[in-house]
């Protein structure tokens, strides 16, 4: 039981840290796995295409095969072409699944960002349904919806929508007047 006193107390992790970790997990794991899945699908599609091309080239040798074996040779080649076409279709389906995985990861990342942003739930559902067409993204109707919160400028900045700020005066740093009362002579170093 003495070893329990040596161990440190467990740290309390707040919800904000949990959300940040979840976003990092989504970014690193799901994007990486979907990218790997897409690369594997691409590689298998290249192999299947190469295999199909090889079977097509073998048909040129069919005339050099004896008559009694030519039928068997052509049937083997046609089965090989069918298998390579099936493998190509499977790799295309795998690439399609990788694209769906990436899209799901983007949607999950967006929803976790919205939940971490502190925006009320009723406004989150409206923001999720915003049209993401270039021309319609910032229409007046959507801006009026976003301006219903208390601090609309903070809301817009949270959503990466930056409106123009009122023009401020140019910053001029404070300069002390060089009068005698502020001037203090430096002591001479010891010699």
pLDDT tens track for 74-103: 999 999 999 999 999 999 899 888 888 887
For Cα atoms 102, 45, 29, give the angle at the middle one, nearest 5 degrees.
25
Supply the pLDDT for residue 118. Answer: 73
Supply the pLDDT for residue 188. Answer: 73
160: alpha, beta or left, given left = phi > 0 and alpha = psi -120 to 50? left
Supply the pLDDT for residue 3. Answer: 46
Supply the pLDDT for residue 89. Answer: 92
> How confident is residue 186, by pLDDT bands cut at 50, 70 and 90?
low
Tell me the C-alpha distance between 40 and 43, whole Å.
Answer: 5
Q: Where are the alpha helices (DSSP H) in 59-161?
A: 67-116, 121-128, 140-146, 152-158
Calculate the average pLDDT of the chain.
71
Supply the pLDDT for residue 76. Answer: 92
Contacts of 49 (CB under 8 A, 6+ apart): 84, 88
Tell me the C-alpha distance between 41 and 115, whole Å.
Answer: 34
Supply the pLDDT for residue 111. Answer: 73
Supply the pLDDT for residue 189. Answer: 72
In the DSSP assignment, the letter for residue 30 is I
In the DSSP assignment, the letter for residue 185 is P
For the entire predicted model, the pTM comes to 0.48
How many other C-beta atoms are found inside a 10 Å radius of the C-beta of residue 71? Answer: 11
pLDDT at 4 over 60: no
Task: Taking residues 32-60, report their average pLDDT.
Answer: 88
Supply the pLDDT for residue 179. Answer: 59
pLDDT, tens digit (0-9, with 9 covering 90-100), for 138-166: 455 555 545 554 455 555 555 555 555 55
């Amino acid at each position: 039981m003495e070893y329990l006193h040596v161990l440190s107390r467990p740290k309390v992790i707040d919800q904000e840290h949990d959300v940040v970790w979840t976003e990092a997990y989504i970014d690193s794991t799901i994007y990486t796995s979907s990218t790997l899945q897409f690369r594997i699908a691409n590689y298998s599609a290249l192999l299947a295409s190469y295999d199909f091309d090889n079977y097509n080239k073998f048909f040129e040798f069919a005339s050099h095969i004896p008559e009694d074996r030519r039928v068997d040779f052509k049937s083997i080649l046609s089965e090989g072409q069918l298998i390579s076409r099936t493998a190509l279709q499977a790799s295309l389906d795998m690439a399609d699944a990788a694209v769906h995985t990436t899209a799901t990861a983007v949607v999950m990342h967006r929803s976790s960002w919205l939940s971490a942003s502190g925006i009320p739930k009723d406004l989150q559902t409206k923001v999720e349904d915003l049209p993401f067409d270039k021309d319609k993204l910032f229409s007046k109707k959507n801006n009026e919806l976003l301006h219903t919160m208390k601090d609309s400028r903070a809301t817009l900045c949270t959503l990466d929508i930056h409106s123009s700020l009122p023009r401020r005066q140019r910053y001029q740093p404070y300069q002390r007047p060089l009068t005698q009362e502020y001037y203090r002579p430096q002591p001479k170093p010891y010699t």
